[in-house]
Amino acid sequence: MSKKIIFMGTPHFAVPILSSLIESTYEVVLVVTQPDRPKGRRQELTPPPVKEVALKHNIPVFQPENIRNEYEQILETEADLIVTAAYGQLIPTEILDYPPHGCINVHASILPELRGGAPIHYALLQGKKETGITIMFMEETLDTGDIISQQRISIEEDDHVGTLHDKLAEVGANLLLETLPQLFSRTFKRAKQDDSKATYAPNITREQEKIDWTKNAEAIYNHIRGLHPWPVAYTIHEGKRMKVWWAEKNDATYNGKRPGKIVACNDDSFTVVCGNNESIRITDIQVAGKKRMKVSEFFRGNKDEIKVGQRLQ
């Protein structure tokens, strides 16, 4: 008889993980996800990605507004295990203690590093050279449970949140399927987290999206790729918000120039001074009221709007 699993997850990161369970020999008996939310300019009510996958496979879906107050439907399901991946709410003890094989989480960092809701962003923002997936037992406190398995991956120089997200989701799906047989046969090893080494990755705030040009070029490059393609870094150009979608490292230095100063405009980019007299080339932008575009495309119709001597703030 196949083991019965409840899956709890919400965004695109959780989709490959749920899909791997559906395609396995295990039976996903219930999917728990966040409620549908308004999305886009028209604020149309949109289901979470995980819900769409569940409905395609005729799996029952439960969408409590607050899991701490609404969980009876979970306890009525005779599940052997609960698997969570980026669900988005802290799960109460009543649920954690319910399944005989426990409640486990697929987390996108090498715990105890980067506990919290944005580990992929912070791995890039902090310029880390590697990250990975941790599968752990869930506790009521955030990402503190005993570790069951981990897998590391390298972060490439041109990785951003989008590429790293997809790599980690795939690693998470594969590692989960490798871990489940040990879990169900109770042959796994569990390791306590060293809380003294814990670091945190709270959700990105609007204030964090703004580029600080006084930082060195490496930090600014990591800032831009650590927020690409969501929520996207920005700067202020001539009093208006300009999103900076992508940039490239630059070897040129500029002594005596203030950070944020535009010092060169080429056909496909413009160069901005950073801290330590370093610089960076901006290649993809979005100015107020317009779509994202290559700087080369922007310059074809708006060459005079971005000029040498202007200063980004």
| Residue 312 resides in a domain | no
Domain's final residue, options 157, 175, 197: 197
| Residue 166 resides in a domain | yes
State the pLDDT at residue 42: 84
Segment 137-147, tens digit of pLDDT: 999 999 999 99
State the pLDDT at residue 68: 93
Segment 15-26, tens digit of pLDDT: 999 999 999 999
Q: Are residues 152 and 13 in the same domain?
A: yes
Domain's final residue, options 197, 222, 240: 197
| Residue 313 resides in a domain | no
Q: Are residues 16 and 134 in the same domain?
A: yes
Mean pLDDT of 165-185: 98
Distance between alpha carbon 152 and the CA centroid of its chain, in Å? 16
What type of residue is 87? Answer: Y
Segment 235-269, tens digit of pLDDT: 999 999 999 999 999 999 999 899 999 999 999 99
Mean pLDDT of 289-294: 94
> Over the chain, what is the mean pLDDT?
96
Q: Are residues 164 and 231 in the same domain?
A: no
Segment 36-60, tens digit of pLDDT: 999 887 889 999 999 999 999 999 9
- Does residue 127 contact residue 156 with C-beta atoms inside 8 Å? no
Mean pLDDT of 76-97: 95
- Structurally, the chain folds into a number of domains equal to 2
Q: Are residues 188 and 226 in the same domain?
A: no
| Residue 287 resides in a domain | yes
What token pair was written down for 43? Answer: 């604020």
Residue 134 has pLDDT above 80, yes or no: yes
The number of beta carbons lying within 10 Å of the beta carbon of residue 72 is: 9
CA distances from 206 to 32, 230, 231, 232, 234 (A): 29, 12, 9, 10, 10
Q: Are residues 187 and 243 in the same domain?
A: no
Q: Are residues 42 and 186 in the same domain?
A: yes
State the pLDDT at residue 43: 87
* Domain range enclosing 41: 4-197
Q: Are residues 189 and 237 in the same domain?
A: no
What is the CATH number for 128?
3.40.50.170
State the pLDDT at residue 87: 96
Q: Is 293 helix (H, G, I), strand (E, B) or coil?
A: strand
Residue 1 has pLDDT above 80, yes or no: no
What is the CATH number for 217?
3.10.25.10
Q: Are residues 182 and 218 in the same domain?
A: no
Mean pLDDT of 67-94: 95
| Residue 241 resides in a domain | yes
State the pLDDT at residue 289: 87
Q: Are residues 133 and 184 in the same domain?
A: yes
Q: How many CA atoms lie within 13 A of 113 on its CB side?
A: 15
Domain's final residue, options 169, 197, 225: 197
Q: Are residues 217 and 159 in the same domain?
A: no
DSSP classification of residue 80: S
Q: Are residues 117 and 171 in the same domain?
A: yes
Q: Are residues 32 and 123 in the same domain?
A: yes
| Residue 307 resides in a domain | no
Residue 201, C-beta contacts closer than 8 angstroms, at least 6 positions apart: 109, 114, 115, 116, 117, 118, 119, 121, 122, 123
